[in-house]
A = this chain, B = another copy of it.
Amino acid sequence: MQKKAVLIYSGGMDSYTLLNQVIHDGLKPEELACLTFDYGQKHNKEIVYAQNVCKGLGITHKVIDITSINSLLGGSSLTDDIEIPEGHYEEDSMQSTVVPNRNMILLSLAVAYAVSLEADTVYYGAHSGDHAIYPDCRPEFVQKMDAVCRIANYQSVTIKTPFLHDSKIEILRKGLALGLDYSKSWTCYNGREAACGKCGACVERLEAFSENNVVDPLTYEK
């Protein structure tokens, strides 16, 4: 079946919710292709989670290895031998998790994939919680990126970010309303057997569950 959209799917809770939301809103699984990036992240367990979800839903899934681009970039604790900082995202220490120009790189590849499939939409899970720390998650970035993606190829591609103005708490609320099973998503920046519960990603995830008065079904290190 002709693909209509590419969805950037990390395997984390935001893109897991987004994937299920767009299907709930009417896109058929066969019309969708998911794209996951292997950029040498320590938390590559999320890739396995993404694969399993796509298999379960019958969705075309492509994992692309972009580890070679790390040679371009300065240090980020997500990929290098820098210890992943503990604590909340909003703190200065989290700057070490910033990969330069990350979302533009991922979106430009997703748009290329969309063009090759003749799909006219790329979905990605930018949300308001990331605005402060990541410049390439802000509404202004999404708007300008959309503007260039519409005219960069013979096939016009639109960038859609339905959660752009939602916090992680609100995204989880929407997913819970859809009856989603969050044991199928992985968030922790450390790729160990159980989630660490201490990195910025875990802290934010646990906060979202707590604010929704729901217990996270994932297993955490004690």
Chain A positions near chain B (C-beta within 8 angstroms): 35, 62, 64-66, 68-69, 71-74, 98-105, 107-109, 111-113, 115-116, 135-136, 138, 140-141, 144-145, 147-149, 151-155
Task: Determine if B148 and A141 form an interchain contact, defined as CB atoms under 8 angstroms apart.
Answer: yes
List of B residues within 8 angstroms of A152 by Cβ: 101, 103-104, 135-136, 141, 145
Task: Determine if B68 and A64 form an interchain contact, defined as CB atoms under 8 angstroms apart.
Answer: yes
What's the Cα separation between A151 and B131 when bound, in Å? 13
List of B residues within 8 angstroms of A105 by Cβ: 105, 108-109, 112
Task: Determine if A151 and B141 form an interchain contact, defined as CB atoms under 8 angstroms apart.
Answer: yes
What's the Cα separation between A112 and B138 when bound, in Å? 17
What's the Cα separation between A14 and B109 when bound, in Å? 25
Leading 10 A-B pairs by shortest Cβ distance: A74-B116, A101-B112, A100-B115, A144-B148, A104-B108, A100-B112, A108-B108, A105-B108, A72-B113, A65-B68
Task: Determine if B69 and A62 form an interchain contact, defined as CB atoms under 8 angstroms apart.
Answer: no
List of B residues within 8 angstroms of A73 by Cβ: 112-113, 116
Q: List 14 A-B contacts (CB under 8 A).
A: A72-B113, A73-B113, A99-B112, A100-B111, A101-B152, A103-B152, A104-B148, A104-B152, A105-B109, A135-B151, A135-B152, A136-B153, A147-B148, A148-B148
Smallest CB-CB separation from A147: which chain B residue?
A: B144
List of B residues within 8 angstroms of A107 by Cβ: 108
| Closest-CB distance, A71 to chain B (whole angstroms) | 6
List of B residues within 8 angstroms of A145 by Cβ: 148, 152
Task: Determine if B108 and A153 form an interchain contact, defined as CB atoms under 8 angstroms apart.
Answer: no
What's the Cα separation between A66 and B72 when bound, in Å? 11
What's the Cα separation between A116 and B73 when bound, in Å? 6
What's the Cα separation between A55 and B136 when bound, in Å? 35
What's the Cα separation between A99 and B105 when bound, in Å? 16
Counting chain B CB atoms within 10 Å of each CB, the highest count among A68, A101, A109 belongs to: A101
